[in-house]
Structure 1
Amino acid sequence: MQPTSTASVAKAAPSMTVTKTTAASVPSGKSQKVDNSVDKKKRRKARKETWASYLYKVLKQVHPDTGISNKGMAIMNSFIIDIFERIATEAARLCLYSKKSTIASREIQTAVRLILPGELSKHAISEGTKTVTSKHLGAAVSFVSVV
């Protein structure tokens, strides 16, 4: 293995320009930092989708004078995500068993029956059916309130 010369290292990175200034060239006597003129775009933060606004609307429908903390909202948000994920997974499994490629309302209803216990599944199914059959746009909020 041969040692690399400084000339070959300088050729490796021709795109970066480095500007150095000495203390003598700066009038105030302070030295400046090395300036790398590589333009970087600022990245936007990825937006997180949450159910917070919908949960807050349901809370105000049920208890208008009650609030919720950020930590409580985070717990409720993760609960809703977990329940929906369980329902979607079970509905997908039911489609696999019946050799269908589309998750229909029937698979969702069956998944809800399997996942939610007793009376809760009956209420969820009735609210879901009411939401699907009605033309009301805000009806989806009532479905979230049951689950």
Structure 2
Amino acid sequence: MRIDETEGELAAGAINDYDSDISEANDWSDEMKMAIAALGRGMGPLKIPSYRKRQDLDKAYRKRRRRVPMGIRPRTIMEAGTFRPMYRRVLKEFHPEMLLSQQSVIAVDDYMGLVLARLVQIASGLASNHYGGCLDARDIQTAVRLLFPDKLGILAVSSGTKAVTEMIQLDKNMNPNES
């Protein structure tokens, strides 16, 4: 690029202005003076490293970040409304050689959310038909039978009943004095 004489004079005047400003500020470092002079020449802003600030931040970061042994670390908290950590565990239990990608976990989680929302919608419609309007186990079973086809609905109802029965038995074994 070629600089005209008028632009050159303007640039020289700007440099002189910056130089006079720099000479007034005695507490600035040489790096700061160079950066301001570079701005006056049209070179653009220079990034000036602040070593003292960086060292202070590193010390503060090291103080805050403590290594915790693996056995003491808290488990990851599940997001509200998702079962994402559970899909990989269940798959590993039945098919240890298979893996799930992040996209497939998201897709399965979205599908499960839709199915559960539809189940709740059907069950709440059934509950509003009878006295009391409270969801009952019978309403959930009927909603499952209506939502899923023939054998899949029957299998889902029997598996759910079995799981609830096991949980009740486990609760009775843990707290024998309550019932």
Aligned partner (choices 119, 125, 139) of residue 151 of structure 2: 119
The CA distance in 1 between the partners of 2:132 and 2:151, in whole Å, is 29
Structure 1: which 5+ runs fail to align? 1-21, 32-46, 138-147
Aligned 8 A contact 2:124 2:135 in 1: yes
- How many aligned positions are there? 101
4+ residue segments displaced more than 4 Å: 22-26
User: What does the per-residue CA deviation read over 1:87-146, in whole Å, with 9 as the maximum and x for residues that have no partner?
Assistant: 111111111122433211111001001111111000000000001111377xxxxxxxxx
User: What does the per-residue CA deviation read over 1:22-69, in whole Å, with 9 as the maximum and x for residues that have no partner?
Assistant: 9865733559xxxxxxxxxxxxxxx83321222112111221110010
- Residue 56 of structure 1 aligns with which residue? 88
TM-score by length of 2: 0.50
Q: Which has the higher helix share?
A: 2
SS in 1 for 2:135: coil
The CA distance in 1 between the partners of 2:86 and 2:159, in whole Å, is 16
SS in 2 for 1:73: helix
Aligned 8 A contact 2:119 2:144 in 1: yes
The CA distance in 2 between the partners of 1:100 and 1:71, in whole Å, is 42
SS in 2 for 1:97: coil
Larger Rg: 2
TM-score by length of 1: 0.60
Choose between structure 1 and 2 for higher RCO, CA contacts under 8 A separated by at least 6 residues.
1
Structure 2: which 5+ runs fail to align? 1-20, 40-77, 171-179
SS in 2 for 1:127: helix
Which runs of structure 2 are paired with 1:71-86 in the superposition (5 Å)?
A: 71-86=103-118
- Residue 101 of structure 1 aligns with which residue? 133
Aligned 8 A contact 2:128 2:134 in 1: no
